[in-house]
Structure 1
């Protein structure tokens, strides 16, 4: 398998606190990779670094073997690296349809209809984003990240604030869509039901370093992971 996204020696510090401490990560093309760990482990910081939203960090990043370390956010997006946010990155007073149309035009993509259908947003296109449910807002945020059929998708807690049923439904939609498109996914998520149900492989961070990596069953049984994070969740 080819490597779609790779980070080498990624480090970032806030004063004396090292949020990332020489992290290496390599995600194969078409893989859904989970990224888990305790609060403060460095998960969202890693997503920020990979997506180009972080400053004052060191290391190298490669997309499909091409170095993108110094590319700006917009350039990474046009190269096929997209992300969603822990807090939805939407415009509350703008209709769902308009937001998706603008994003699609900006990326020169004509496949918007498939995204709308997959996430069941058709009935909501004329609604202002602020006037739909939180679950619908999260689906809009995911749809905005999926516009343009990105080669690599970074997801920062896409199920945050959703019910168990909503989380599993969203996870199923995501899994089916990225499989159909061959999209590579790196997902940060605290809901272990979501992580263990859709991920091919899981990376565990703790205190800014890689604690473990492996398949879902392997990670679930790892004593260091159970001690540091999973505990009774395992």
Structure 2
């Protein structure tokens, strides 16, 4: 019997006029896996996230969630089905309290586990403060809380450690690893912080100029000559 993957993407493609931002990208994630999606700026990482979530016009390719073809689903329908995403920039409302924002996200996800999420991410103590009154690190945790509402099957994270200190980044990485293990949460992680990537990812997929350059275990990718050539002078070299 063939194995069912929690997230399966086949032939993901997006073109803008004559420019191909993403070209025939395919990968599969097992339940509970944390997969790093890495590459230089313009490699197609955020575009890949957009196509997976049905964001933007005319996404091409097949997306399956826990064996179900969701390619024809809208962005909201995919969220309700269990595919959630956070963005590079904080996606919060500064004037609303943290609790109000999490509860609002819970209504949209059609599952109210807001208190569980606030406790899980150590936000309960500041939950009744406006988001504008808390630190940037706390705002990033609010972003993660909004994405985790409803206990999604697959979580897509677009640079969750952006702007955090090294200590905050590694703390976030440890928390994600723990969540994935305890909730059997599948994670696709776009991140430039290689310390975070190599600390928690089970496998890596490398994009280059909109295509998959290679994928494999972190140590395999780190020593891959093609990756070293593509990122000469970077952390990989």
In the superposition, the TM-score normalised over structure 2's length comes to 0.95
Whole-Å separation in 2 of the counterparts to 1:196 and 1:114: 28
Look up the match of 1:78: 80
Q: Which runs of 4+ in 1 moved over 4 A?
A: none
Q: CA deviation at 1:70?
A: 1.3
CA deviation profile, 1:9-37 (whole Å, cap 9, x unmatched) = 11111222211011111111110000000
Q: CA deviation at 1:105?
A: 3.3
Whole-Å separation in 1 of the counterparts to 2:231 and 2:59: 26
Look up the match of 2:129: 127
* 1:9 partnered with 2:11: yes
Q: Secondary structure at the match of 1:3?
A: coil
Q: Secondary structure at the match of 2:6?
A: strand
Whole-Å separation in 1 of the counterparts to 2:180 and 2:93: 25
Q: CA deviation at 1:109?
A: 2.7
Gaps of 5+ in 2: none
Gaps of 5+ in 1: none
Look up the match of 2:214: 212
Q: CA deviation at 1:230?
A: 6.3
Contact 1:45 1:54 survives alignment (8 Å): no
Contact 1:13 1:57 survives alignment (8 Å): no
Name the count of aligned residue pairs. 234
Deviates more, 1:123-132 or 1:185-194: 123-132
Whole-Å separation in 1 of the counterparts to 2:98 and 2:232: 37
Whole-Å separation in 2 of the counterparts to 1:127 and 1:185: 29
